[in-house]
Amino acid sequence: MNVNEFQSKIGVLFKDDRVLKEALTHRSYLNEDEGWPYAHNERLEFLGDAVLELVTTRYLFNAFPKLEEGDLTMMRSALVNTKMLAKTAGEIHLEDYLSLSKGEGLGSKRAMETILADAFEALIGAIYLDQGYEEAEKFIRNKILSRVDEIKEQGYRDAKSILQERTQEKLKVTPTYEVVKEAGPEHQKVFKVGVYFKKKLIAMGEGCSKQEAETEAAKKALADEVV
């Protein structure tokens, strides 16, 4: 784990690189190297997630004073969802510096996206602890909030919102989502979710989180032109 090289790549020089090494340690690696002196990154991920949400919410609130709460929420979701965070992690080559078991490294693309997104949030948590709020905000602005124009051009309204709008308008019902199946270990679950109109199953989706699975189910329902 060449943390000096990684610090140069991300433009952050840590006062205590032990917190950075923790951020770059996946839970699975502890089973592979019992003498590894650092904790896994899940606590830092928890912290980083909160910092990321606060910084992003504050930025959008100030930058778009005319947007309603629903639009702000959807824009924030588009900026900080698993795919976007994994994409950003890929751009800084985070995977090359992550301490990860060989088995996890050979997992599916979707599972690796989740691992990278979680590690990116842990990195934010580490920057916040070591450097303070302002440096964490600077990092988030450079890596995440710089994508706002890209999100606006692509359209940030998610599939669930579009499906709900159409079903309420045309069918006078609100889609509901139900977890049909959970599989895999606790830290790497795969969820299968169904979207229902009243009690009728319309489509199914899978994902590494309930939210991702719900979104996939909504996308399939839209693709099938059920409304």
Residues contacting 135, CB < 8 A, separation 6+ = 12, 127, 128
What would the pLDDT profile of 93-138 be if each residue is shown by its tens digit?
Answer: 999 999 998 877 666 777 889 899 999 999 999 999 999 999 999 9
Count of structural domains, the chain: 2
Residues with catalytic roles: 49, 121
Distance in angstroms (rounded) separating the CA atoms of residues 144 and 130: 20
Q: Identify the three-state secondary structure at position 103.
A: helix
Same domain, 149 and 98: yes
Count, in order, helices (H) and strands (E) of the chain. 12, 3
HSE-up of 126 (CA within 13 Å, CB side)?
A: 27
Instruction: Select from 154, 186, 203 the last residue of a domain.
Output: 154
Whether the model pTM is above 0.85 = no
Instruction: Select from 131, 154, 177 the last residue of a domain.
Output: 154
Residues contacting 220, CB < 8 A, separation 6+ = 203, 204, 205
Same domain, 139 and 205: no
**Residue 55's domain is classified under what CATH number?**
1.10.1520.10
Domain that holds residue 42: 3-154
Same domain, 198 and 140: no
What would the pLDDT profile of 158-168 be if each residue is shown by its tens digit?
Answer: 788 889 888 98
HSE-up of 15 (CA within 13 Å, CB side)?
A: 8
What are the structure tokens assigned to 127, written together?
């920057």
